[in-house]
Amino acid sequence: MYKKISNIAERGLIEKELGIRYKFPRLYTPSSVIDGTQEATLSIITMDQPNRISYAIWGLLPNRYEGEWIDFQKVINTLNVPKENLNSNGIFEEPYQKRRCLIIATGFFIYHLYNGSLYPYYVYLNDNKPFYIAGVYNILDDGFITCSMLMTKAAGIVDEIQNLSTTMPIFIPDDLRNCWLDSKADMGEINHIINLPNALELKAHPIAKEFFKNDITYESMLEPVYYEGIPLP
């Protein structure tokens, strides 16, 4: 289960790299650690407004749900959803067909268990630029957007390092952004996209354990920590 990601890019850089602007620019704040267990907000691009960057609460809620976000998450954690569950009857099937989104991030976190200790790793692009994670979303009656991150089988550097999970996020390359957000796209093509091998050039290194308290800066995340017996990838 992936519960924390990072988005430390300045708003101007995100808008320049992605070629679109935030709907409410003053609300954006870079964050080294976005903790999904704390009803966190993500920057996303939706099918409803593909030419604007919106905000969504991380953790999908069903349409017409009227209770508290935290109560629903206690019953079923919807921060992530395996791609195998997208076409089965349930709360993810309709959003996958009708409400796909792109979650904007600059990194995410994985973990390695070694000799009884847990070591966090930061995973990011070689150029530290923002990238897209595939997602689905719902719009509640009060206008709030909630979303889930789509997951696939771990591969590459992620699979080499993490030993407590077999999954990783699904990444959407920029040249498939329009197709992913196209309401008229054939679902066969959409299914093909989520089964493509990862094309991002990911890097990873161990980081300080202050991460577990959400007490870590972006600058310290960029500095590898050399733990004895834990080799860098």
What's the per-residue H, E or C state across 46-100?
Answer: ECCCCCEEEEEEECCCCCCCCCCHHHHHHHCCCCEEEHHHCCCCCCCHHHHHHCE
| Residue in 40, 1, 205 with CA at minimum distance from that of residue 120 | 205
What's the pLDDT at 23?
94
In whole angstroms, what is the distance from residue 115 CA to residue 189 CA?
44
Q: pLDDT value at position 231?
A: 65
Residue 218 has pLDDT above 90, yes or no: no
Write out pLDDT tens, residues 93-124: 999 999 999 999 999 999 999 888 899 999 99
Burial track 50-75 (b if 16+ CB lie within 10 A, e otherwise):
beebbbbbbbbbbeebeeebeebbee
What tokens appear for 157 in the block? 């550097």
pLDDT tier, 224 (very low <50, low <70, confident <90, very high otherwise): confident
pLDDT at 205: 92
193: pLDDT confidence band, cut at 50, 70 and 90?
very high
Average pLDDT of the residues of the chain: 93
What average pLDDT does the segment 53-69 reach?
93
Q: How many CB atoms lie within 10 A of CB 148?
A: 29
Least confident among 56-65, 70-79, 81-90, 145-154: 81-90
pLDDT at 1 over 90: no
CB atoms within 10 A of CB 77: 15
Q: How far is CA 196 from CA 55, 153, 172, 187, in A?
A: 27, 11, 9, 14
Pick from 200, 27, 197: nearest CA to 105: 200
Min mean pLDDT across 39-53, 77-91, 124-138, 218-232 is at 218-232
d(CA 128, CA 231): 22
pLDDT value, residue 216 = 80
Residue 223, C-beta contacts closer than 8 angstroms, at least 6 positions apart: 207
3-state SS, residue 101: strand
Averaged over 125-147, what is the pLDDT? 94
In the predicted structure, residue 232 carries a pLDDT above the cut 70: no
d(CA 68, CA 27) in angstroms, rounded, equals: 23
* Side-chain half-sphere CA neighbours of 52 within 13 A: 9
CA gap 98, 226 in Å, rounded: 45
pLDDT digits (tens, 9 = 90+) for 37-55: 999 999 999 999 999 999 9
% pLDDT > 90, the chain: 79
C-alpha to C-alpha distances, 99 to 96, 140, 193, 199, nearest whole angstrom? 6, 13, 15, 24
pLDDT-derived band at 127 (thresholds 50, 70, 90) equals confident
pTM over 0.85: yes
pLDDT-based confidence at 76, cuts 50/70/90? very high
Structure token digits, residue 215: 């007490």
